[in-house]
Structure 1
Amino acid sequence: MLEQLLIFTRGGLVLWSSCRAIGNALKGSPIDALIRSCLLEERSADSSFSHESYTLKWAFHNELGLVFVAVYQRILHLLYVDDLLSSVRREFSAVYDPKRTVYNDFDETFRQLQMEAEARVEEMKKLKQSGRAPPVQSKKGGAGQRALTGSQGNGTKKGSGGGSTKDDSDGDTGNGRLVSNGVENGAKGSNKSRVPSKGKENGAPDTGAFDVNKLMMRSKTGKKSDDDKKAGPTKGQPKKAVKKKRVWDDAPKEEPKLDFTDEKGDEGMEREVAVIRGESMMDKEEVISSESEGEEEDEDEVEGAKPGAKKKGWFASMFKSIAGNNSLEKADLQPALRALKDRLMTKNVAEEIAEKLCESVANSLEGKKLGSFTRISSTVQTAMEEALLRILTPRRSIDILRDVHAAKEQGRPYVVVFVGVNGVGKSTNLAKVAYWLLQHDVSVTLAACDTFRSGAVEQLRTHARRLQIPIFEKGYEKDPAIVAKEAIQDAARNKSDVVLVDTAGRMQDNEPLMRALSKLINLNNPDLVLFVGEALVGNDAVDQLSKFNQKLADLSTVANARLIDGILLTKFDTIDDKVGAALSMVYISGAPVMFVGCGQSYTDLKKLNVKSIVKTLLK
């Protein structure tokens, strides 16, 4: 049974509801959760949204700025919802008046549309049980075709337009999808524009992540030929370092020691701490210069450029313009979206995320009318830029310094737990965060809860000595949850403001270690759970974050499981313009990037500049 069907504007004005008598009586306000977690964060490419015991599906009317949302119990698998949304969208758009706010006369129309949608599903069930194929020509004339295909932008992949989902679709909706594809093929000749493909076959530019020509050019410029090797080093080029010969005498010459820890002592440590004193990059505002962008645009506008000149921008000379008062269709958007998807993937955005983003942009543009001679490419790029800004901008503010002072007033320390996979730099970046907090006159205690990896306690102890801050440790092979609890109690006794908890690196599929991490978080209830991830990862970012959150939820012993609250992105200085990991992580988790590690010293920690990331992704 359908719980609710709601029609509202993008500005939030509710125009009509199928259950006005009970208002917002649905448990947990699922529509509010949909708006916060999906629509505002540009996740409309998803086919459905689940909240508590409800499943929600939606459709847009971009030209009128309307949103249609259907809510039903998750266990029910209502097959007629997509068909009903399409029909309601069509009928309500015909009677919509921007000056009206009440549509009580739409009740009877909705009841009739719901009965027709249920009847169509029942008929398809009977046809399937009898072994006959559903009639292609029945009930699909004009608006009926749109009702069967459900092509109103509710986020189904590969251009089918919205009917089926992975969790809610049975054989009936699958047949509906086949019918819709057949109709479109008959109307438009082919469905090539709906099938995303790579390469130059469909007119898309060759902007793949792997380019053989570039590889050949690098091999020519980066390696010497045999003649060059024979000729020896060129003038001005430094000679290759030669390995020193081993000395076999009885009294070999002493080589300088590599470990200076014991020789420095306390005085040496004080001198070292004085050297590393400097302003953290977290407190510096990054200024984005637009000079380079202007130069690129000027070069792109030059006509008749020589073969050696800079290549034109990837959107500079692509795709047609549309005359005024013409509505955009998905077929018009596909070439630009394919090129945009390839561009995002070359920037290290996960393929799944790039595909969902492009589908979401297509849903937001379908049906809109463009101005006279407006380029589709520029329209798509503008829509994508707005979508990326919405995704990367935090939906909730996390001010650590403010929260630290609030916890101090309550007489307790502020607890931050650092989690992540092996080798991403948790301990090093934990020390950077500690150094930043010290600059703001916040007392810090380190908790060595990595009792699994050899040398982890010694590594954290070295950071504590260099920063001259206390560390709580219990050695190895101890329960990290108990160690963290005792560290928090010790910090409370010593009036420490912040406790930074270092945990062992673990892969997302390692259930014993994930269970131990879940126990640590549930037992100590930290104020902030930071996921430390590498900026080098691509598709693996989606797997890491989604499985970390899933494991923390599944293995939690409390009702409201604690998930990842924020992201610390490491090794950001090694990726050049391949900044897509930040987008992938934020999109899949909904958590903001709070810190960015960009070097090897304690000062190399900064904030994520959202505008700079968006500019880099789209240039």
Structure 2
Amino acid sequence: MLEQLLIFTRGGLILWTYKELGNALRGSPIDALIRSCLLEERSGAASYNYDVPGAAYTLKWTFHNDLGLVFVAVYQKILHLLYVDELLAMVKREFSEIYDPKKTVYNEFDDIFQQLRKEAEARAEDIKKSKQVGKPVNNNLGKKQGQLQNGGTDGGNKKKGGGESGKDGGDGDKVKGNAKENGHSNGRTGNGVVQVNCKENGNSTAGAFDVNKLQKLRVKGGKKVDTVVNKGSKAEPTKKIKKNRVWDDSPKESKLDFTDPMSENIAVVAAVEGESMMDKEEIVSSDSETEEDEEPGKDNKVEAKKKGWFSSMFQSIAGKAKLEKADLEPALKALKDRLMTKNVAEEIAEKLCESVAASLEGKKLGSFTRISSTVQAAMEEALARILTPKRSIDILRDVHAAKEQEKPYVVVFVGVNGVGKSTNLAKVAYWLLQHNINVMMAACDTFRSGAVEQLRTHARRLQIPIFEKGYEKDPAIVAKEAIQEANRNGSDVVLVDTAGRMQDNEPLMRALSKLIYVNSPDLILFVGEALVGNDAVDQLSKFNQKLGDLSPSPDPRLIDGILLTKFDTIDDKVGAALSMVYISGAPVMFVGCGQSYTDLKKLNVKSIVKTLLK
């Protein structure tokens, strides 16, 4: 049963809607579709599932890109209606004929829709009945199986290089050619197993090793290989004798702690490091823009520069009224390959191209406009829309809001092993210190050896307090006590360091889920490497899945933002940022670009988009 069919413009104006009488939709499936698919460049997907307590819906949609219309159908997920796609196509065709941009009410479309629905349902019912009748069974397959069971008659087939073999395929089979009768044949044995000749004129058959070739390989440059090997074996390499290590009988230190003692006077890092890159605006400049400013009027040259590799591969189509899918496929395929060379996950690149194709199909191509330039412009808009944060996360503003409520602002850093959580936590602490915010670190990595000492070193260099309880403690309890300590000493922000864990490690993921559930942090930052490609999709999706599945809360907390590390090591392979944002919907809030405390900056969306498409 079709629950709802909605027609609206891309600007959000509802033109016409159909609702099943007596059935009210639970939740807001249309709003969820717009947020999760249409605005996130996932419109190339076939359908969208919306689950709420007590109901589950499937949504399908289509576009009329030339008119800027969206057609959405909603039905119960359990029904699997077969006629929805056809109905949407029929509604799209009929409504586009009566659409007027100046008109907002289309009551006359009610009767037209009822007729279209009856036709679609009747056609789907006919298809269903024809499938239930089924096709006649092919009896030839049964005959062949019976012949094989009765001894097999396939052995009489002719083989290459051999003649006809007997039906039973015994030792008495006659084989034509040069093959020897050696108990083997090209026919089928009594057990129904086909055997191939093993010998031919005393030599191995094709596929076996040729002994004559082995004889030739043994001679190299007129000398036998054995002689060379023997000569080489006489020269033995000189052995290096390792000297014994001399241990001091009376070590000066009673414990293996090589960190700087607390008594030393260490200069404040703020006086040495300078201003954090987070507060500096990055200016993006490109060669094409500079050339455009210097040489105005030369549009053709500038356009060719902007197109780059697109212009060399594709040419404009003169007189093309509307774009079709076949016209877009070459440009989209080249664009997909280009994105993958920039370290974008293959799955993400394919979905992006499908979304761009869905937004361009049926659209009119302007005069003297290349298809490649149209596709690239649409992809630039899509990438900028994905990388731009959908909701504002201003940490400084939120910190002051929490300070007014007399409670600390808690940030939890999570991620896989070895991505640099502790180091980048210290960078965030340094940035907050520059804005006169009191920061405290919480050493909740009680699993990895040396994690507490590492964080203690950063805290001492930055001259900020640290809360630690050692190793083999429950990280959720340590974080809770750290927040209580921050309340007592007046710290504005608590930065919680957690142990690195793989996304498939369920015990550690369960401990992380407990830490988040018990302490309810204000911000959960996923720390990921800019070096990863396809693995970024697996890491983020499984982190969010585990945090949701293992949380006892009915409304579990998921990842709020991303901190991308080692961004200075990837050159133009910036695709991991796009993959992470696309799969999670969380924005990239920080980018680590070096090893000092100042090497932390914001993600420049324009720069990333230009790098991905250049």
TM-score (norm 1): 0.75
**Can you list the C-alpha shifts for 1:147-197, whole angstroms capped at 9, x where unaligned?**
xxxxxxxxxxxxxxxxxxxxxxxxxxxxxxxxxxxxxxxxxxxxxxxxxxx
Structure 2 gaps, min length 5: 137-240
Measured in 2, the distance between the counterparts of 1:263 and 1:382 equals: 55
Query: 1:408 — aligned with what?
Result: 403
Measured in 2, the distance between the counterparts of 1:311 and 1:102 equals: 43
Question: Is 1:440 matched up with 2:435?
Answer: yes
Residue among 592, 595, 608 paired with 1:613 = 608
**Can you list the C-alpha shifts for 1:322-360, whole angstroms capped at 9, x where unaligned?**
235610001001111111001000000000000011111
Query: 2:229 — aligned with what?
Result: none
Note if contact 2:259-2:457 (Cα within 8 Å) is conserved in structure 1: no
Query: 1:566 — aligned with what?
Result: 561
Offset, 1:107: 1.2
**SS of equivalent residue, structure 2 residue 495:** strand
Question: Is 1:273 matched up with 2:287?
Answer: no
Select the structure of larger CA radius of gyration: 2
Relative distance call for 1:104 and 1:262 in structure 2 (3 A) is closer
Relative distance call for 1:500 and 1:366 in structure 2 (3 A) is same
Relative distance call for 1:466 and 1:249 in structure 2 (3 A) is closer
Offset, 1:19: 2.1
Query: 2:459 — aligned with what?
Result: 464
Amino acid at match of 1:93: S
Structure 1 range deviating more: 14-23 or 89-98: 14-23
Query: 1:284 — aligned with what?
Result: 280
**Can you list the C-alpha shifts for 1:11-33, whole angstroms capped at 9, x where unaligned?**
1110000029889x532211112
Measured in 2, the distance between the counterparts of 1:263 and 1:403 equals: 35
Query: 1:306 — aligned with what?
Result: none
Query: 1:315 — aligned with what?
Result: 310
Amino acid at match of 1:569: L
Note if contact 1:345-1:354 (Cα within 8 Å) is conserved in structure 2: yes
Offset, 1:117: 1.8
Offset, 1:421: 0.6
Relative distance call for 1:300 and 1:575 in structure 2 (3 A) is farther
Offset, 1:601: 0.5
Q: After the TM superposition, which residues 209-608 of structure 1 pair with which residues of structure 2 at under 5 Å, given as runs?
A: 265-269=262-266, 271=267, 273=269, 276-291=272-287, 294=290, 313-324=308-319, 326-608=321-603
Measured in 2, the distance between the counterparts of 1:70 and 1:260 equals: 66
Query: 1:18 — aligned with what?
Result: 18
Query: 1:27 — aligned with what?
Result: 26
Query: 1:98 — aligned with what?
Result: 101
**SS of equivalent residue, structure 1 residue 560:** coil
Measured in 2, the distance between the counterparts of 1:407 and 1:312 equals: 48
Relative distance call for 1:450 and 1:262 in structure 2 (3 A) is closer
Residue among 111, 115, 120 paired with 2:118 = 115
Structure 1 gaps, min length 5: 134-244, 303-309
Note if contact 2:57-2:77 (Cα within 8 Å) is conserved in structure 1: yes
Question: Is 1:89 matched up with 2:92?
Answer: yes
**Can you list the C-alpha shifts for 1:530-588, whole angstroms capped at 9, x where unaligned?**
00000000001111111111111111111111111000000000000000000000000
Measured in 2, the distance between the counterparts of 1:582 and 1:45 equals: 21
Query: 2:157 — aligned with what?
Result: none
Note if contact 2:2-2:20 (Cα within 8 Å) is conserved in structure 1: no
Note if contact 1:323-1:371 (Cα within 8 Å) is conserved in structure 2: no
**Can you list the C-alpha shifts for 1:209-248, whole angstroms capped at 9, x where unaligned?**
xxxxxxxxxxxxxxxxxxxxxxxxxxxxxxxxxxxx9999
Relative distance call for 1:22 and 1:399 in structure 2 (3 A) is farther
Note if contact 2:268-2:463 (Cα within 8 Å) is conserved in structure 1: no
Query: 1:176 — aligned with what?
Result: none
Offset, 1:426: 0.5
Measured in 2, the distance between the counterparts of 1:96 and 1:457 equals: 67
Relative distance call for 1:48 and 1:379 in structure 2 (3 A) is same
Offset, 1:276: 3.7
Query: 1:225 — aligned with what?
Result: none
Measured in 1, the distance between the counterparts of 2:245 and 2:454 equals: 37
Measured in 2, the distance between the counterparts of 1:332 and 1:432 equals: 49
**SS of equivalent residue, structure 1 residue 75:** coil
**SS of equivalent residue, structure 1 residue 83:** helix
**SS of equivalent residue, structure 2 residue 390:** coil
Relative distance call for 1:132 and 1:88 in structure 2 (3 A) is farther
Query: 2:159 — aligned with what?
Result: none
Query: 1:127 — aligned with what?
Result: 130
Note if contact 2:3-2:20 (Cα within 8 Å) is conserved in structure 1: no
**SS of equivalent residue, structure 1 residue 507:** coil
Q: CA RMSD in A?
A: 3.0
Measured in 1, the distance between the counterparts of 2:403 and 2:608 equals: 35
**SS of equivalent residue, structure 1 residue 594:** strand
Measured in 1, the distance between the counterparts of 2:272 and 2:261 equals: 16
Note if contact 1:4-1:19 (Cα within 8 Å) is conserved in structure 2: yes
Relative distance call for 1:501 and 1:587 in structure 2 (3 A) is same
Note if contact 1:276-1:602 (Cα within 8 Å) is conserved in structure 2: no
Query: 2:152 — aligned with what?
Result: none
Structure 1 range deviating more: 118-127 or 86-95: 118-127
Amino acid at match of 2:112: T
**Can you list the C-alpha shifts for 1:34-78, whole angstroms capped at 9, x where unaligned?**
112211121111222222222211100001100001112223322
Measured in 2, the distance between the counterparts of 1:100 and 1:458 equals: 69
Measured in 1, the distance between the counterparts of 2:370 and 2:568 equals: 36
**SS of equivalent residue, structure 1 residue 405:** helix
Query: 1:203 — aligned with what?
Result: none
Note if contact 1:324-1:369 (Cα within 8 Å) is conserved in structure 2: no
Measured in 1, the distance between the counterparts of 2:520 and 2:420 equals: 23
Question: Is 1:3 matched up with 2:6?
Answer: no
Relative distance call for 1:451 and 1:249 in structure 2 (3 A) is closer
Note if contact 1:2-1:71 (Cα within 8 Å) is conserved in structure 2: yes
Note if contact 1:322-1:372 (Cα within 8 Å) is conserved in structure 2: no
**SS of equivalent residue, structure 1 residue 551:** helix
Note if contact 1:570-1:597 (Cα within 8 Å) is conserved in structure 2: yes
Note if contact 2:307-2:373 (Cα within 8 Å) is conserved in structure 1: no
Measured in 2, the distance between the counterparts of 1:407 and 1:616 equals: 38
Amino acid at match of 1:286: E
**SS of equivalent residue, structure 2 residue 313:** coil
Measured in 2, the distance between the counterparts of 1:474 and 1:68 equals: 58
Note if contact 2:268-2:461 (Cα within 8 Å) is conserved in structure 1: yes
Measured in 2, the distance between the counterparts of 1:416 and 1:311 equals: 42
Measured in 2, the distance between the counterparts of 1:300 and 1:542 equals: 40
4+ residue segments displaced more than 4 Å: 20-23, 245-252, 259-265, 292-302
Note if contact 1:324-1:373 (Cα within 8 Å) is conserved in structure 2: no
Note if contact 2:444-2:478 (Cα within 8 Å) is conserved in structure 1: yes
Measured in 2, the distance between the counterparts of 1:617 and 1:421 equals: 26
For this pair of structures, how many residues does the alignment match?
Answer: 495
Relative distance call for 1:263 and 1:466 in structure 2 (3 A) is closer
